[in-house]
Amino acid sequence: MVKRVLRTTTLPLLLLPLLLPLPDETGAQREPRRRAAPAAPKPPGKGGCCEEVRALKVQLANVSSQLEELARKQEEEVRSLLRQVLDLDQKSRLQEARVTEAESKFSELNGHVEIIRLQASQAATQTSADANYDCASLYNKNYKISGEYKLPADMFLGTPELQVYCDMETSGGGWTVIQRRKVGLTSFDRDWKQYKRGFGTTRGDFWLGNDNILRLTQQPTVLRIELEDWEGEKRYAEYQHFSLGNELNSYRLLLANYSGTAGQDSMRYHNNTNFSTKDKDNDKCVDKCAELRKGGYWYNCCTDSNLNGVYYRYGEHTKSTDGITWYGWHGPNYSLKRVEMKIRPQNFQS
């Protein structure tokens, strides 16, 4: 009987050894077959048959339990594979961001070379009368490539040479960039002196410095704020009037005439407010907003926007209230991917 079962069975090879009475070794498996043959002529004892059936049942149970085990393992493997795929997906997204960063650096570098060439060709014809006051005046002298420029020292105002980044493309160009967040490696949790002088690198993340911003806003000035979220969407806010008080007046902010696409105006709340840093609490409440929001800003009580807040990377960008926020677009817990603040004279014409 056992023999016939073995001959006619179509079970997978894998399971064949399990159906044999002695599952120990391949050598031992042959013996029971020989023993089973002489047992056949004996009077048809029910015990022999039932024992075999019982043995088969036990083995069947064993096989099905092993199948279950296999299925479970497989499921685990699928799950672990899925985890790996998700992991890879995230890694590739990071990689993509790095490539974009590298590409933008490359094009910036190209622009820089072009600017040096232009400046060299024009240096000979330049006189002190047409001082490069800001990026708008550079634009009007035909410097129309975005990049780093040096504004010369001004003997009359007593201001030193100043390195700036000019945006010569956006909305007509002529913009002097006063703040940028895009790389996220420069801390903006700094003290009064550092916000006064400026910090960071004009190519990457930086604050131009309250004294420098003051120097560049002595004529009626427009402020433009550009925002980008982690989905790659871009918005902007523009103020037809932007000015600061001097240091004695705590660099008090004055803004007027908002327009743009950034939803509800999230700078208005900071209008008419003194600048605060962690070591100089000039905000309008008992809380120390600069400490809570970890930046230097015109903190009211405390924020409707926090453009000098903490740079949070993708995945961490919705978990905190001290990030780079703009309530009117993404609310108080969403830290943006990229921000630029830039200024140009009201009377600028491209």
Ligand X SMILES: *[C@@H]1O[C@H](CO)[C@@H](O)[C@H](O)[C@H]1NC(C)=O
For residue 72, CA distances in Å to 65, 68, 134, 305 come to: 11, 6, 69, 51
Q: Please, what sign has the CA dihedral across residues 116, 122, 127, 129?
A: negative
In angstroms, give the least distance from the CB of 300 to ligand X.
9
Q: Give the number of other CB atoms < 10 A from CB of residue 204.
A: 17
272 touches ligand X (CB under 6 A): yes
Of residues 20 and 145, the one with the C-beta less far from ligand X: 20
Contact of 229 with 329, CB cutoff 8 Å: yes
Of residues 168 and 255, the one with the C-beta less far from ligand X: 255
What's the CA gap between 284 and 286, in Å, rounded? 7
What's the CA gap between 179 and 207, in Å, rounded? 5
Could you tell me which stretch among 114-122, 203-211, 256-264, 335-343 binds ligand X (CB under 6 A)?
Answer: 256-264
268 touches ligand X (CB under 6 A): yes
264 touches ligand X (CB under 6 A): no
What's the CA gap between 1 and 147, in Å, rounded? 90
Of residues 205 and 265, the one with the C-beta less far from ligand X: 265
Tell me the three state secondary structure of residue 232.
Answer: coil
In angstroms, give the least distance from the CB of 63 to ligand X.
8
Question: Contact with ligand X (CB under 6 A): which of 49, 51, 62, 259?
Answer: 62
Nearest Cα to 179, choosing from 303, 302, 336? Answer: 336
In angstroms, give the least distance from the CB of 265 to ligand X.
6
Nearest Cα to 346, choosing from 240, 213, 216, 224? Answer: 240
81 touches ligand X (CB under 6 A): no
What's the CA gap between 345 and 220, in Å, rounded? 6
92 touches ligand X (CB under 6 A): no
What's the CA gap between 329 and 305, in Å, rounded? 10
How do beta strands 206-207 and 199-200 pair? antiparallel
In angstroms, give the least distance from the CB of 275 to ligand X.
9
219 touches ligand X (CB under 6 A): no
Residue 86 identity: L
Could you tell me which stretch among 35-43, 103-111, 127-135, 325-333 binds ligand X (CB under 6 A)?
Answer: 325-333
347 touches ligand X (CB under 6 A): no
What's the CA gap between 143 and 122, in Å, rounded? 10
Question: Contact with ligand X (CB under 6 A): which of 119, 159, 163, 282?
Answer: 282
144 touches ligand X (CB under 6 A): no
Per-residue tokens: 200 = 């960071």
In angstroms, give the least distance from the CB of 130 to ligand X.
28
Binding mask 15-54 for ligand X (x = CB under 6 A): ---x----x-------------------------------
Binding site for ligand X (CB under 6 A): 18, 23, 62, 65, 240-241, 249-250, 252, 254-258, 268, 271-272, 274, 282, 284, 321, 331-333
